[in-house]
């Protein structure tokens, strides 16, 4: 097929597809109807071909038997000449001729229907009288007998037989179409039931769709729909809880800001005025930090996950579920070094010894698949927590661990740590463990909002890692490990 012809066929197919109705039931009826019509046509062609073959076999046998019956000779009339067929009984569709061995025609069944004398014995197709005759020639000791039949007779008989075979199909076609329509409608009835049920639901109704009675081809679709509804319900519930918690947590800093503003307005002297300004500024900073963390946590929880290129590694999706970008290889060591540089000033102000726990000559790459910005946020929150809760003159070390259980980013400090009974509790949003609260109340550092570790855990889970809190064996304080599963082939 040439290129123009191929493009023409492609355009015709595309045009036909574009004109197909969108309803599945209508498509099935059209395709089944077309299949029935095509099958009927093929059956008619095959019936015509088989009837023609059978007709040829039957009439060839009849012609042979007629020629064999005339081998004994022909009756003669009173004048001693072979008698022919009376004109009123002439039949030009079936002709018999007898020739002598010298080439003299001594008999013909129809006057004026002379066929050429055949030198070839047996069967042959001979054009004559504007048509084609099937001729059988038989030679005896004294004569040549020719029996011929018009091929149009055979074709007519074969066509009539084919029409007779198609007649039952034509009569039963309405019944067959009705049966097909009923089967299609009955098969799609459960799908229509699901459609009506979903159309009448309220937006808040996220109950699973019943799958009873659905075809096996539709069950996986309904199962995925139910899974989607479940995820949407969980996200909606989490969002409601988050909004409620956020509203509750914002009341306290806003109330504190209002009180500090009142204290500023009532300051009796310059010293009290300056102190009130500092407290108001610190309160604004805390409120700003709380709002930033709330927005960060909301953004992280709104993002979904997709499978990454390596086992246990997940990519990042946008808020609407579409993949924002394929997971890229991120050098976590570079992320840590940048976060340490960003926290260097705060660590110096609080007299903390913060840095990598290994010498530069042992520096190795620690690459994970994920989003660099989210990983920077993870490390920054871990270091920020350490700055808040480690006493002055303390130590914060960042290192790495790699063994059969996986690879881990390790951040440990010499602070008060978190009691084992409180470690699961502090991973919740807006929750600060009693140990941290007592340490903050003792004047170590400003209190946090209870969101830092929750953000770390959310980012870790999005990247296929898990968060582990325990006591540091070397520094005695809190040790936080972000553990990625081992990568095959490394």
pLDDT at 326 over 80: no
Q: Residue 331 corresponds to which tokens in the numbers above?
A: 């050098």
* DSSP 8-state symbol, 107: E
Pick the range with the lowest mean pLDDT from 8-12, 179-183, 387-391: 8-12
Residues with Cβ < 8 Å from 256, sequence gap 6 or more? 283
Q: What is the mean pLDDT of residues 346-354?
A: 87
What are the C-alpha distances in Å from 461 to residues 177, 238, 318?
57, 16, 16
Q: Which residues of 53-73 are buried (b: 16+ CB within 10 A; e: fewer)?
A: eebbeebbeebeebbeebeee
Token look-up 């660099």 returns: 372
What are the C-alpha distances in Å from 398 to residues 392, 413, 486?
18, 9, 20
Q: Give residue 479's pLDDT.
A: 92
Give the integer Cα–Cα distance in Å for 172 and 42. Answer: 17
pLDDT, tens only, 251-262: 667 777 787 788
Residues with Cβ < 8 Å from 190, sequence gap 6 or more? 213, 214, 215, 218
pLDDT at 14 over 60: no
Q: Give residue 395's pLDDT.
A: 92
What are the C-alpha distances in Å from 144 to residues 123, 125, 151, 157, 308?
13, 17, 22, 29, 91
Short-list 483, 480, 440, CA closest to 461 = 483
Q: What is the mean pLDDT of residues 34-44?
A: 82
Short-list 349, 473, 486, CA closest to 399 = 473
What are the C-alpha distances in Å from 306 to residues 256, 265, 299?
42, 54, 16
pLDDT, tens only, 64-100: 888 888 877 665 543 334 444 455 555 667 888 888 8
Q: What is the mean pLDDT of residues 112-124?
A: 71
Which of the two residues, 426 and 391, has the higher pLDDT score? 391
Give the integer Cα–Cα distance in Å for 386 and 475. Answer: 13
Give the integer Cα–Cα distance in Å for 143 and 235. Answer: 103
Q: Residue 285 corresponds to which tokens in the numbers above?
A: 């900073």
Chain centroid to CA 445? 53
For 87-106, the three-class secondary structure string (H helix, E strand, C coil) is HHHCCCCEEEEEEECCCCEE
Q: Give residue 411's pLDDT.
A: 92
Q: Band of the pLDDT at 396, cuts 50, 70, 90?
A: very high
Report, in angstroms and rounded to the nearest whole number, the Rg of the chain calculated over CA atoms: 48
Give the integer Cα–Cα distance in Å for 486 and 478. Answer: 24
Q: What is the mean pLDDT of residues 53-73?
A: 83
pLDDT at 356 over 80: yes
Pick the range with the lowest mean pLDDT from 236-245, 315-324, 345-354, 442-451: 315-324
Residues with Cβ < 8 Å from 418, sequence gap 6 or more? 426, 433, 435, 436, 469, 478
Q: Band of the pLDDT at 412, cuts 50, 70, 90?
A: very high
- Mean pLDDT score of the chain, rounded to an integer? 75
Angle, CA 136 vertex, CA 117 and CA 60 arms, to 5°: 160
Pick the range with the lowest mean pLDDT from 26-35, 307-316, 414-423: 307-316
What are the C-alpha distances in Å from 247 to residues 214, 226, 240, 241, 453?
44, 31, 11, 10, 20
Q: Give residue 196's pLDDT.
A: 82
> 367 — alpha (psi -120 to 50), left (phi > 0) or beta?
beta
pLDDT at 16 over 60: no
Cβ 316 vs Cβ 303: under 8 Å:
yes
Q: Give residue 441's pLDDT.
A: 45
pLDDT, tens only, 263-275: 888 888 888 888 8
Percent of the chain past pLDDT 90, that is, above it, reads: 4
pLDDT at 461 over 80: yes
Cβ 122 vs Cβ 60: under 8 Å:
no
Angle, CA 168 vertex, CA 166 and CA 173 arms, to 5°: 95
Q: What are phi and psi of 432, to 5 degrees?
A: -120, 130
pLDDT at 449 over 80: no
Chain centroid to CA 98? 78
Percent of the chain past pLDDT 70, that is, above it, reads: 72
Q: Give residue 119's pLDDT.
A: 58
Give the integer Cα–Cα distance in Å for 207 and 232. Answer: 11
What are the C-alpha distances in Å from 37 to residues 81, 172, 179?
60, 12, 15
Half-sphere exposure of 482 (CA within 13 A, CB side): 26
Cβ 113 vs Cβ 92: under 8 Å:
yes
Compute how many other C-beta atoms are within 10 angstroms of the C-beta atom of residue 116.
Answer: 12
Which of the two residues, 418 and 81, has the higher pLDDT score? 418
Pick the range with the lowest mean pLDDT from 108-122, 385-399, 410-424: 108-122
Q: What is the pTM of this model?
A: 0.47
Which of the two residues, 164 and 481, has the higher pLDDT score? 481
Bridge-based pairing state of the strands 122-128 and 131-139: antiparallel
Q: Give residue 133's pLDDT.
A: 86
Half-sphere exposure of 208 (CA within 13 A, CB side): 12
pLDDT at 359 over 70: no
pLDDT at 360 over 80: no
Q: What are phi and psi of 120, to 5 degrees?
A: -95, 125
């Amino acid at each position: 097929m040439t290129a123009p012809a191929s493009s023409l066929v492609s355009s015709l197919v595309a045009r036909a597809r574009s004109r197909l109705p969108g309803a599945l039931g209508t498509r099935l009826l059209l395709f089944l109807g077309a299949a029935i019509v095509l099958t009927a046509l093929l059956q008619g062609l095959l019936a015509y071909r088989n009837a023609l073959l059978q007709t040829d076999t039957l009439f060839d046998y009849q012609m042979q038997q007629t020629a064999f019956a005339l081998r004994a000779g022909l009756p003669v009339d009173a004048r001693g000449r072979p008698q022919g067929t009376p004109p009123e009984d002439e039949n030009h569709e079936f002709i018999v001729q007898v020739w002598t061995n010298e080439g003299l025609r001594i008999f013909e069944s129809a006057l004026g229907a002379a066929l050429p004398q055949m030198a070839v014995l047996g069967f042959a197709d001979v054009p004559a009288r504007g048509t084609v005759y099937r001729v059988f020639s038989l030679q005896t000791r004294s004569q040549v007998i020719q029996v011929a039949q018009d091929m149009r007779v055979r074709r007519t008989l074969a066509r009539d037989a084919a029409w007779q075979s198609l007649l039952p199909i034509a009569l039963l076609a309405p019944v067959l179409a009705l049966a097909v329509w009923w089967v299609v409608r009955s098969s799609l009835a459960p799908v229509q039931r699901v459609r009506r049920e979903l159309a009448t639901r309220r937006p808040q109704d996220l109950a699973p769709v019943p799958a009873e009675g659905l075809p096996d081809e539709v069950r996986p679709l309904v199962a995925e729909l139910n899974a989607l509804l479940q995820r949407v319900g969980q996200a909606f519930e989490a969002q409601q809880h988050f909004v409620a918690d956020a509203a509750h947590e914002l009341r306290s800093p806003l109330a504190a800001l209002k009180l500090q503003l009142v204290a500023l307005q009532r300051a009796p002297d310059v010293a009290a005025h300056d102190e009130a300004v500092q407290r108001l500024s610190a309160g604004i900073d805390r409120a700003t930090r709380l709002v930033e963390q709330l927005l960060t946590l909301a953004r992280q929880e709104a993002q979904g996950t997709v499978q990454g290129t390596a086992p246990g590694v997940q990519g990042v999706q946008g808020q609407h579920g579409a993949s924002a970008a394929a997971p890229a290889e991120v050098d976590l060591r570079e992320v840590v070094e940048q976060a340490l540089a960003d926290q260097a000033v705060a660590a110096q102000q609080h007299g903390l010894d913060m840095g990598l726990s290994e010498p530069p000559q042992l520096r190795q790459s620690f690459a994970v698949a994920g989003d660099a910005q989210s990983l920077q946020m993870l490390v920054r929150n871990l270091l920020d927590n350490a700055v808040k809760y480690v006493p002055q003159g303390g130590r914060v070390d960042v290192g790495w661990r790699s063994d059969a259980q996986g690879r881990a980013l390790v951040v440990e400090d010499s602070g008060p740590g978190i009691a084992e009974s409180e470690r699961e509790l502090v991973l919740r949003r807006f929750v600060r463990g009693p140990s941290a609260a007592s340490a903050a109340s003792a004047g170590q550092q400003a209190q946090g909002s209870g969101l830092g570790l929750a953000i770390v855990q959310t980012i870790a889970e999005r990247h296929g890692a898990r968060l582990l809190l325990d006591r540091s064996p070397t520094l005695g304080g809190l040790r936080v490990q972000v553990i990625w599963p081992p990568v095959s082939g490394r």
